[in-house]
Structure formats: C-alpha cells, structure tokens
Structure 1
C-alpha cells in the first residue's frame, strides 16, 4: 500500500471512530498502535488535530483516568474525505474502445484548457457534446506518460477541437494546432454557412 492510500485509510478510520465518540475526540484506547502512528503522520500534514494539554485534562476528567492522547479530523482532513467521496473514479481504459470511439491523450496543460471549456458548459451557446463533461471528469491520468487519457466519440472529439478553437481565438493557437496535427480535427470558417465548422483531415495547421 502506498503512502497516499495509507493516509486516506487512516483518515477514514478516524472519521468512523470520531462519529461514535462521546466527546468528539478519539482516544488512544480506541486506536491500534499502527493507526495511531499513521494519524501522527497525518497530523504533521495538517489533516488531523491532536488534543493539547488542556483538552487532554478535560477528557481525563470526563473519563476518570489520565488521557495521554486524543485526535480528531482537522477541517482540512474532513475536506479531503469529502472531496474524495465526491470525486468520480477514473474511467478504466483496459477495454478496447467501442465502435467509432477513439482514445485521446492530452498533456496536463491541454487538459487544463479543455476543463475551462467543460466548466463553462452551462453558459456556453455551443455546448460540449453529450457525455464529454463526464468523460473529462473521469479521465484517467497515465502517470508514466504524463497524459490524461479518455475514450471519446467523434462528436466529443469535435468538441475538444472547438474548445481549442476558442482558445486559439482568445490567445493561444498551440493547442488547436497540436490537436489538428495529432487527431486530424480542426475548426475553420465554412463559407457556405458563414460559421466555423469542424473539419477532419490527417494534417493541418489552424490560425485564429
């Protein structure tokens, strides 16, 4: 088990014990030595609050015996578990893409630019393709390759091209040019409609 997972498990265990605690503090008698050591480490990271001398004295009076150690989640520790619970599990990419779907890989900075677009979905006039917001939220981060990976439909891929088109018009053409070269989708003006439209080709460079 890695350090991150061990820390999260310790925070979950503390939360469970804290919910059953009469005083809102978890005492050393309710914590195995290994867990106590993990909570000490989490306290050094600001995720656990350890009782000071005054609090321990109050707890000792309640218990009728010396209380030498007590802990509870800090506000930050509580928020970590709340955020973890709300975060979706990454979509596994172990199965082959469905028919017409394609695996898309984006660098972290490119993913950040895409997230700006998906976060604005409620107020955009040209909304992201159905399902793209969820695919972005559940994207898998390939740490060795330093890439975010998603399996997307053609419509969702065109939405990414549109997101990078907006970015090109507002300042940086790097993402749109890269996406056009890598995945063959770009936005350009359609003279017939007078609007920018998605164009598919294997190699093209776009300009704002």
Structure 2
C-alpha cells in the first residue's frame, strides 16, 4: 500500500467516471479496468465491491463485478493532482481553538496537512473543525525542523487522514512517522454495499 502511480490514478478516475455514468452508481466490468486493479483499490480502501444481490439488480447486466469509490477514493482523486501541482497553502480564517494535545509535525507532513486544508470544499471527509486555525498557530520546535501544533483528538484524526492521502499521492513516510510518534494512523473503515 503506497503511492498510486499514474496508471492506477487513471484507473481510479475511470472507475469514478463509469460509476457516474450509471444511474445505479456502480462502475461495472464493462469499464475496461482489470479486476486486479479494482481488488487493489478495495484492499487500500479506495473503493468497495458490490455483493451478489446488488450485482443481480444492476441493469444492463448481470455484471461479473461492480465497484464504487469510497469517500477516501474520491478524496484521493482530489488530493493527488493538487499534490502534484503544489497547490498553495490556505489562509487562516479565525483565531485558534483550545488545544488538548501537542503534536510535532515535520515540514513535509505540515505541507501535506496544508494541502488537505486547501482542498476542504472538494473533499468528502473534510478536516475537523478548527484544524486550519491550529495549523496557522503552529510554532517552530525549539530543536530540529519540526512544527508544534496543539490539536484536539478529532484534529489529530484529520491529520492522520491527510497523511493517509499523502501516502496515496506522494510519500508514505509522513504517515508512518505520525503513526509511530503520535499513535494515530488512518484506516479506511470496511463498507458493505
């Protein structure tokens, strides 16, 4: 489970486009994507497969398989091109909330969180309330190149999700480091159709 390459990104986008074309909201085996690619997307939480009952209901059909993007899959399609084009950081909107936990982020991780915040209006799983303020209020650590943030637990979870998206688009290092140092790692929840 790592960075999506261009071919995988195109397959994921094709799944989204095919599911959008169908009234039933599922991409089917007629979309031209290899089932192995779909299985990989399912394993990393980017899409879900239809069960047997759902397959029987799809028209025209019956299809051999059907899949649709999860919110994480949608957000990956939003995040990855923005990451590659180096979208600028968002501007803060208002003063920061009360903090409950101090977290240190390295510059690359903070950059990923800023990109996640900049994409807020396009995401299915937007940042926790006040995360933008906490990022704006971040201060340099006394030693090293890290930044100190004061975050609520929902904000810590949002940072973990931002770094999970970063792992799909660019590098798994920030997500792994955050999991080790802060004990927080995003895992897509399993969904049934």
Larger radius of gyration: 1
- What's the TM-score once normalised by structure 1's chain length? 0.43
**TM-score (normalised: structure 2):** 0.46
Q: Which has the higher contact order (CA 8 A, sep 6+)?
A: 2
